[in-house]
Amino acid sequence: MYNYFNPIQDPKMVGLDSNLMTLLNSARDFATIPFIITSGLRTDAESIAVGGFAGDPHTKGLACDILCKSDTQQYLIVNGALKAGFKRIGLGLNHVHLDIDSSQAQNVIWIEKNAV
């Protein structure tokens, strides 16, 4: 179904919205580097424990975090995400947050609190 993701090798994709996965697949193609999903679908309690909030995009299957180990990887992931059509991007210390939650502000890039 997706060129770069499958539930056996990428168990964190389980429960994610199919539209999110289609955009992730496209972003991965543009980025030309592997995307490792470090966080996908969460419960409200899991989101709160990592600094999110109840009902955030992760709890709806509309968000994921992609592992990022360098500034170059961060640039490639963000560039690929923008080309694929993502309109919500968060920059963390070791990940890039990508989501498609239309109930949240659109056309935004932010630095996550723990990244400062």
Provide mean pLDDT across the span 47-57: 90
Tally of domains within the chain = 1
- Give me the CATH number covering residue 38: 3.30.1380.10
User: For residue 22, is it within any domain?
Assistant: yes
Binned at pLDDT 50, 70 and 90, residue 116 comes out as: low
More confident residue, 65 or 113: 65
Q: What is the mean pLDDT of the chain?
A: 94
Structural domain span for residue 94:
16-115
User: For residue 1, is it within any domain?
Assistant: no
User: For residue 5, is it within any domain?
Assistant: no
Q: From CA 81, how far away is CA 99, in angstroms rounded?
A: 10
Q: What is the DSSP string of 36-101?
A: -EEE-S--HHHHHHTT--TT-GGGGT-EEEEE--SHHHHHHHHHHHHHHT--EEEE-SSEEEEE--
Residue-level pLDDT at 68: 96
User: What pLDDT digit, counting tens, does each position of 19-38 carry?
Assistant: 999 999 999 999 999 999 99
